Amino acid sequence: MKLKKIHNSVWHSIQNYALITLGLFVNALAWTAFIIPSEIIGGGVTGLSALVYYATGIPVGLTFFAINIVLITLGIKSLGLSFGIRTIYAAVVLSVFLSVLQQYITEPIVSDRFMAAIIGGIMGGASVGLVFSQGGSTGGTDIIAMMINKYRNISPGKLMLYMDVVIISSSFILFRSLEVIVYGFVVMAVASYAIDMVLMGHRQSVQMFIFSKKHEEIAEQIANEIGRGVTLLNGKGWYSKTESNILMVIARRYESNQLFRTIKQIDPEAFISTANVMGVYGKGFDPIKY
């Protein structure tokens, strides 16, 4: 049993880092294929690195890596390693992706600047949402926001917004164009919306009631293979007047297909009721807010 749990934990970590890596690749592609070639300044350290690139020609990946090395060092001193090894991993991998892709992509994929801002914002935001959903972080302004939040009662979200506005607005110094600033804010707005959509989809939960004579096997499989808690309820059929056991499971929406598959393998005749849940707080879900 212990070996099985270790195997599941290792497999989960592999899947986790694979999804983070995919998100980082898509994020780098959004910048190098749409935003940077169209001379648009987005937010975050990537946007700051793009400013440096337009001014000096230094590759975005190199500047991004250098800035993050400084921020991660300060973050370790201020926050300890609590902000996660995934942040360090993401900063290094994203730097590599940015450097490699920028060498091969020299022209924008689409000629229309507004379309490039929309597509780049969607891809950039969705990819960051994917990384966040796996417990990762792209580093950069996230670290600055966490460090300031430790000493000042300002939410990290507001701090990141303020920093993005400053970075995008500073593009006027280089380009002397309000149009560039407007496109930068379009990217920021679209990316923010895409992040929220991905995170909302990832955090949506379902509540399942499972009626089956093989409830013990199903409960065992759900608890050990999927890693979700199961509550056993006692019931009684009104028509048949027979006692029955009901399993109640709360899980993320993306886990529902795996739950259905597991139940069908054990008992194809099981009766299942599924409902969407507005919010779930506690262990394995969102922290309780106050």
pLDDT truncated to tens, each residue of the chain (290 aa)? Answer: 555 555 556 676 788 788 888 999 999 999 999 999 988 998 888 999 999 999 998 999 999 999 988 888 887 777 666 566 777 888 889 999 999 999 888 787 888 999 999 999 999 889 888 887 777 777 777 777 777 766 776 666 677 788 889 999 998 988 888 999 999 999 988 988 888 788 776 667 888 999 988 888 998 888 887 788 888 888 887 887 788 888 999 888 778 888 898 899 899 989 999 888 777 777 766 666 54
By residue count, the chain amounts to 290
First to last CA, the chain: 38
CATH architecture of structural domain 204-277: 2-Layer Sandwich (3.30)
- What percentage of the chain's residues is helix, strand, coil (to nearest 5)? 65, 10, 20
At 31 the pLDDT is 92
Amino acid 149: pLDDT = 67
- pTM: predicted TM-score of the whole model, two decimal places: 0.72
Which two three-digit tokens encode residue 73? 């060092």
The predicted pLDDT at position 131 comes to: 83
**In the chain, where are the structural domains located?**
2-202, 204-277
Q: CA-to-CA distance for 227 and 133, rounded, in angstroms?
A: 17
Question: How would you label 123-141 residue by residue, b for 16+ Cβ within 10 Å and e otherwise?
Answer: bbbbbbbbbbbbebbbbbb
